[in-house]
Structure 1
């Protein structure tokens, strides 16, 4: 247990794989230097990547968290940065302190989609400051929180830091979406892209598509594209069973965030897929379709806008006719796609461990 006479501070920072681990890597050196300056004692910061487990009722398994100390006997403070979205007392939970075990847990999604290093350092430093017996140096007060306050309920050893009532929800939703890595999801739909490209390519060779795209208004073309995107998002959710249902009433709010982040993640992914398809068809159209021949077919002077209209309508046709029925390239891609999928794996891992222990007895 730390006391004011201690001459050293040993911190273990454990992060979930993925975005939390990448953020820890980006701040590690700055965080260690800041700890050294703040408390003027010999500081050791060790980092570790480890997937945290959930209990069957979707709560963070604190027993499994504290077990992480076993490989580091001399650890004074255990910090945990998790991708698990946490919501208590009606607001997103940014962090919580368990002073009796020198443990601080920070939820990465509640920091937002574009959490700066400074914001993450502030939360980590504020958490550390609730656990150490020393006051921070004057020049370190700038790293303490000024946009939210810690609260203590019945147990003085348990303190919580909640996000703002109005901005916390949207910030957590965006944080969950970015944690799903939507940009990295696009290559996992290469099969769908190939099928959609093959179907959309017909638009390059059929003059009836040229005439229709010329006749339709911009508003109607945009509406067709949006409808194609929505249909494909809906298909991916239904075909891969990505819509979660709360097992208990207490989980309804968190599951709502799971589902909203899934929709937003897939929306970003499919929009990127659609844009890629438009670019490919546009390039093919410019190469294949002679402007004079197009002018004869559409009975007006061909322009770049006509090529773009053809690509847009053909891409919509490709997404609906070719992309529907296609899926992710592997089951692993689906299992790691959304928060709901990854959270279920954490529970399954815990249940599997229990089954293994029963088999061994």
Structure 2
């Protein structure tokens, strides 16, 4: 589901409990891409016997989410059924403490076991790294890469023009490519964020900590997509340069013997400069396509996405 952002995990569990009551389910487990926290630590899962619901934060599971879900969800369901039963039947899944050994993301259990309000918390540094990688995974960087087709088209057009200009060859031999590459990638990401209004601002519905996480997830996703786009452009430029520019012609312009490393350096500089053309092309991208790379973006932010809506 795509929950409201304010109120944290308690508000999410309240919404889920109302959904469970409306559907007349015995228990309900919510899988959400919303990053959750408790005690300033990433929250992997939370159970509430009183509400007969539980939630799992998918980003907190990191990259291998399906395997972690297969280990965690049966235990959560069994715990809810056992705690809610008046007969106090034995749990149908693993005990709460056992999940820490079955799910790598879970570091410890907090809360009141007698009340059935349990939180499964990740570790500090490793948990935050896992949370960020999980956010990037949930944000589908491949979709962002495919969506920036006009960016690549503009970049390839600029690179094709640059390959025919001997002044660019001399610049490629004189300039350092690493600094220019970093500047161009950062400039491209900044252009996408500013030009398409992808930066989350804290407000009444979005707490400052959540906005920071959303923005970090967006920046990491766009940086990964831009880096892959740059790599594709770089490889394509090397191939075209090797086919079109004869070694003797390059030697006459550079006034020195050249080898394959000269072509690599030339492609490096041209790819970096061509990213400027790609940046201009990115302004022509479909607004919905680019906004899909923003972590906090949902077409229907207050809607439920379950089997009825699928």
TM-score range, shorter chain: 0.7 to 0.9
What secondary structure, in the 3-state scheme, does the structure 2 residue paired with 1:109 have? helix
Inter-partner Cα distance in structure 2 for 1:130 and 1:223: 55
Contact 1:86 1:92 in 2 (8 A): yes
Aligned to 1:189: 148
Aligned to 1:179: 138
Q: 1:247 to 1:190 in 2, by over 3 A?
A: same
Contact 2:79 2:93 in 1 (8 A): no
What secondary structure, in the 3-state scheme, does the structure 1 residue paired with 2:31 have? strand
Contact 2:42 2:122 in 1 (8 A): yes
Q: Which runs of 5+ in 2 are unaligned?
A: 83-88, 305-310
What secondary structure, in the 3-state scheme, does the structure 1 residue paired with 2:243 have? helix
What secondary structure, in the 3-state scheme, does the structure 2 residue paired with 1:334 have? helix
Which of 105, 130, 152 is equivalent to 2:55?
A: 105
What secondary structure, in the 3-state scheme, does the structure 2 residue paired with 1:104 have? strand
1:337 aligns with 2:288: no
1:284 aligns with 2:234: no
Which of 108, 113, 118 is equivalent to 1:149?
A: 108
TM-score, normalisation: structure 2? 0.83
Contact 1:99 1:157 in 2 (8 A): yes
Contact 1:126 1:145 in 2 (8 A): no
Aligned to 1:27: none
Aligned to 2:76: 127
Contact 1:188 1:328 in 2 (8 A): no
**Shift of residue 62 of structure 1?**
4.2
**Shift of residue 132 of structure 1?**
3.0
Which of 266, 275, 294 is equivalent to 1:319?
A: 275
Contact 1:109 1:174 in 2 (8 A): yes
Contact 1:122 1:143 in 2 (8 A): no
Inter-partner Cα distance in structure 2 for 1:330 and 1:336: 10
Aligned to 2:201: 245
Q: How many equivalent pairs are there?
A: 293
CA deviation map 1:98-155 (0-9, x unaligned)? 21232111000011133461x3333223323421324468999997323533222599
Aligned to 2:301: 346
What secondary structure, in the 3-state scheme, does the structure 2 residue paired with 1:145 have? helix
Q: 1:165 to 1:327 in 2, by over 3 A?
A: same
**Shift of residue 169 of structure 1?**
1.6
**Shift of residue 165 of structure 1?**
2.4
**Shift of residue 313 of structure 1?**
0.7
What secondary structure, in the 3-state scheme, does the structure 2 residue paired with 1:96 have? strand
Q: Which runs of 5+ in 1 are unaligned?
A: 1-50, 351-361
Inter-partner Cα distance in structure 1 for 2:8 and 2:148: 29
Inter-partner Cα distance in structure 1 for 2:97 and 2:224: 36
List aligned pairs for 1:250-329, cutoff 5 A. 251-324=207-280, 326-327=282-283, 329=285
What secondary structure, in the 3-state scheme, does the structure 1 residue paired with 2:125 have? coil
Contact 1:192 1:322 in 2 (8 A): yes
Inter-partner Cα distance in structure 1 for 2:99 and 2:58: 18
What secondary structure, in the 3-state scheme, does the structure 2 residue paired with 1:79 have? strand
Contact 1:111 1:171 in 2 (8 A): yes
Which of 77, 80, 91 is equivalent to 2:27?
A: 77
Of residues 124-133 and 162-171 in structure 1, the stretch that sits farther from structure 2 once superposed is: 124-133
**Shift of residue 252 of structure 1?**
1.7
Which of 121, 144, 163 is equivalent to 1:204?
A: 163
CA deviation map 1:52-111 (0-9, x unaligned)? 3316667654455345547865x4332221111112321111111121232111000011
Which of 45, 55, 65 is equivalent to 2:16?
A: 65
